[in-house]
Structures are given as structure tokens and as C-alpha cells.
Amino acid sequence: MATVRDTVLAYIQKEILPGRRITYDTSLISLGFTNSLEMVAAKTYLEAHYRIRIPDEVATPEAFDTVESITRLLAKLGVR
């Protein structure tokens, strides 16, 4: 079974940044790799995949800046 971190990484590599190599710590937003539409798409995917709701007030650019920060956000929401 894939870890949450690996699931997030795989989604971003396949759907948002195909053909790019990223790590868990690659800055996705601050380096300009993603835009707000991609962030919303990732949020929607994660909500459906993990059957959770990510409140808009915590779905900040900082929270979606790296795979690690997304994983931390999901952990706060009870995803393990």
C-alpha cells in the first residue's frame, strides 16, 4: 500500500507536472510549477481519494507548496 506522501507525489507527477522530476520537498508554487487551477484540481482529487473535506481556509498556497506540506495538511485532517 502506498503512503500518503507517495500517493500525493504520484498524482502531482502524473496529472500536474508530467515529465518533470520532483521530490517531496520541491517547491511547486513558489517555483511557478503550479497555478491556482492545478491547486484546486489537486484539492479535489485528494478530497475524493481520501473521502475527506479540505476546508478552503486551510487550502492555502503554503499548504500546497510541496508534497511534504500537502502530506502534513492531510495528516492534520486525519489522513494516515
Of 3.20.20.150, 1.10.1610.10, 1.10.1200.10, 3.30.470.30, the CATH number of 4-76 is: 1.10.1200.10
Number of CB atoms found within 10 A of residue 7's CB? 20
| pLDDT of res. 58 | 95
Q: What is the pTM of this model?
A: 0.91
pLDDT, tens digit (0-9, with 9 covering 90-100), for 2-45? 899 999 999 999 998 888 889 999 998 877 777 788 889 999 99
Rounded to whole angstroms, how far apart are CA atoms 32 and 46? 21
54 contacts 8 by C-beta, under 8 angstroms: no
| pLDDT of res. 20 | 84
| pLDDT of res. 35 | 77
| pLDDT of res. 29 | 82
| pLDDT of res. 12 | 93
Domain spans in the chain, listed from the N-terminal domain onward: 4-76
